[in-house]
Amino acid sequence: MTRLNGRTALVTGAGRGIGREIARRLAHEGAFVILHHGSSEPAARDLLEQIGAAGGQGFLAGADLSDMAGIAGLFEAVDEGLARAGRGGGLDILVNNAGIGMPGDITTITPAAFDRVMAVDARAPLFVAQEAARRMGEGGRIINISSMVAHRAYQGFAIAYGAAKAALEYITLSMAVTLGPRGITANMVIPGATDTDFIADVMQNPDMVGQLKSATALGGIGTPRDVADAVAFLASPEARWVTGTHINVSGGTLL
């Protein structure tokens, strides 16, 4: 597939789970892919090797996105890597996928945990997008990965994660309005329960797996490929008139 030939994409959190499959899919579509990683460099390097073996191209860019210095360092690596690759045209696609989750509800969450989740899951996507947009021209794409947790309150679960993803959804709307006159779209993909290491403990519990399946209209649990397919559409020329909206990739969770 070649829908993204000539395009340059940055995927944050590309070493694991959903981000890994998104990066693989964009490379398959022909994009030159920058694989951001935090603590998962070996996995990201393995993916880069797989992309290269399949005829794709890209490079790694490591950074801790929990502070502004890390975001600045990420874009230093992006600019230097693109210059080395002879790709001076900047970025065309940003997928803000990197995120963390910490347990805790209103009775147990700590300020430190809340601040760290908000920094990685809400502040970082905003300021990564700010830098990416400076490097984008007309036809740019910003795709933010949200979560069903932003839309449903799950008892005793992830108050900071849900709050951060809800904030990210408003941030995405604001991006769409502000960047639209430049021909840049901004959209969200909203996964439900997806079989990755993010919910590995849940996937080891047959009762919880059964509950998740019964909560979806399609009667299953999502895969990273399900999410990557939606991202590939939003990154493509076919999504040129789609902005400020979301694709719910949850199998019809809690309809």
pLDDT tens digits, 127-151: 999 999 999 999 999 999 999 989 8
DSSP state of 122: I
Class of domain 8-249: alpha beta
Catalytic hit among 32, 75, 161, 198:
161
Residues 243/185, Cβ–Cβ less than 8 Å: yes
Q: How far is CA 135 from CA 8, 166, 218, in A?
A: 11, 26, 40
| Cα distance between the two ends of the chain | 34
CA distance 189 to 165: 11
Quickly state the pLDDT bin for 186 (edges 50, 70, 90): very high
Comparing 11-25, 44-58, 154-168, the range with the smallest average pLDDT is 154-168
Residue ranges of the domains in the chain? 8-249
Which residues are bridge partners to 60 per DSSP? Answer: 35
pLDDT digits (tens, 9 = 90+) for 194-240: 877 776 677 778 877 778 888 899 998 989 999 999 999 999 999 99
Active site residue 154: no
Asked if residue 1 has pLDDT above 70, the reply is: no
